[in-house]
Amino acid sequence: MDIRFFEGNIANIQADAIVVPSNSALKESNGESNAIYDAAGRKNLCIECEALVKGNGKYAYGDAVATNAFLLDAQFLIHAVVPKLRYGNKSECDQIAHAYTNSLIVADGLKCKSIAFPLLGIRNGFDVKTVYRIASEQIQKYKARYIQKVFIVVHDKKTVDIITYEGNRVYSLDGLHSGVYSLRTICNKQNYLSQLEEKDIKEICSIINGFSLKNEIGLLFDDIVAYRNLPENYIIQKSRSGKCRVIRDNKTIIRCCDERILCYYLNNKICEKKKLSSLSDKNYGLVLCGGGARGAYQIGVWKALIEHTCLSFTGISGVSVGALNSLLFAQGNYEKAERVWMTIEEKDLKDFNELLELLKIGGLKLLESFLSVAPSVFLGSLSTLAYDQALENEENKQLIMKFRLASNNLSSIIDSAIDDWTLIDRNKILYSFVSRNFVFSTPENIPLTGLTVNEIKDVVLSSASLPIIYGSTNYKGKKYFDGGRISNVPYEILAEKGFKRILVIHLNPNDRKKKKYSLSSYNDAVIEHIYPSEPLGGLLTISKEKTLERMKRGYFDAVKWIDSNEAKTFL
């Protein structure tokens, strides 16, 4: 089982089962229990608990019994009967241990895949270290049939410090790692929707309507929960089956989508607005262009900026390998970024020689001439029909599947590169540019603030999913591709969000000849560019020597730019 620790209010977590500490009469026993009862709906929960006690009598210490979770983001509430500390002997510790074990047994019997615990007993006088040890031992030795994830939620800094000292990472429920997307959480509890403007709602509607939405006919929207704290008379309606629609002035503008999809985009937009408003300044934004293995050049530029300037970027927009590098920049550890790039090998990215052979076998010789130019040209010339024809050949299909395995390598690279995921969201806002189709333009800038670790990885991998080589990445039920196919220089989002000066680090020297990629201003923002002084080699051609060469080229090109009159004005 995967065990993770969180800091926050356990009533805000999403899990199949949430454990609540109770006394023998199944009544709330402490402040933590009160929070869960309040969030679930005290009246209905008390009625069900009273019925259980009436039928079964009072429960013994260590027992566990399930009820409905009512308004919580869970299917079940499991009431664990926990003793109060009196003597501190082994018997009382055993009762705590039984409470954990019996809660797991109950959850497994209900076929729950995830369960959330508080640290049982710490509100009843038990020592944090003792309870932590009991919880770890009981959870680790339990042989689960259905449970895959166990969340342990703590509520105070002292407990967090102790758990961290024991070698565990503690995530926050209120930000980066929450992953809680429900209308109850977003609308009722946090009341965030009122912060959105009409343009935000329209943007969300535009994105969601690009998905394949279900027909709402037959859904009982008569018996609904309606959320009205939206701008301009917008209403969100939720049916009995959990499907949602958005209405404005009696007109349906989002037909019928899953609650989690709608709430994901609402939450993402809310977190973006909060992050933008909390930034200390929006003076400087950074744009990291795409270009595969050439991305090492951007690391060299970074070194020069560190050594010769005092630039601090609070906004970063990346596409393709630039999206991967944006995570490294957000970490603020140049030495780690350099080490990561020096360990990437050719097998991690795949070689174009095999791809050329694949294209010849598949009857796509025409594409061979496109491989030496920018990805936007190459992929813009690729048709879905030609790709489908290549897949008709079984040998081609097997080769293409080999390329798809490379995305696993990219995921491993990200895991090895990031030491502390909380830094991604702490003092910067990051955007990854993706495309929903690699033939027709459907671009999307996804802010990484407020997302879970897995969601951040999925978005960044989507931006780096060069079609044919890496295929697409599934994210929120939709296939996404490399956004560089649409625009390899995604500066617009930073300018539109109010950043005053934007520095673009290119990976193709020919970009200086393209008007769209060489603008000096956009939306009142001043834009400066650092271009490679010479070609950086193939998209997927990489070795330690080549990486070092690209880093050095980036460093010297950046130093030359820093000494220019344009840079002095910009800085």
Catalytic residues: 320, 482
DSSP for 170-201, please give it. EEETTTTT-----HIIIIIIS--GGG--HHHH
- Give kind and range of the element (H or E) at residue 248: strand 243-248
- What Å distances lie between residue 238 and 69, 242, 244, 256, 324, CA to CA? 18, 6, 4, 9, 37
Spatial contact of 451 and 487, defined as CB atoms under 8 Å apart: no
Spatial contact of 425 and 487, defined as CB atoms under 8 Å apart: no
- What is the biggest distance separating any 2 CA atoms in the chain, rounded to whole angstroms? 83
Q: Give bridge partners of residue 482 from the DSSP assignment.
A: 434
Torsion of CA 316, 322, 327, 332, to 10 degrees: -70
Q: Which residues 6+ apart lie within 8 Å of 297 measured at CB?
A: 291, 505, 507, 532, 536, 550, 551, 553, 554, 557
Angle 266-187-206 from CA coordinates, rounded to 5°: 25
d(C-alpha 193, C-alpha 186), whole Å: 7
HEC string for 52-100:
HHHHHCCCCCCCEEEEECCCCCCCEEEEEECCCCCCCCHHHHHHHHHHH
180 dihedral zone (left: phi>0; alpha: psi -120 to 50; beta): beta
Spatial contact of 49 and 67, defined as CB atoms under 8 Å apart: yes
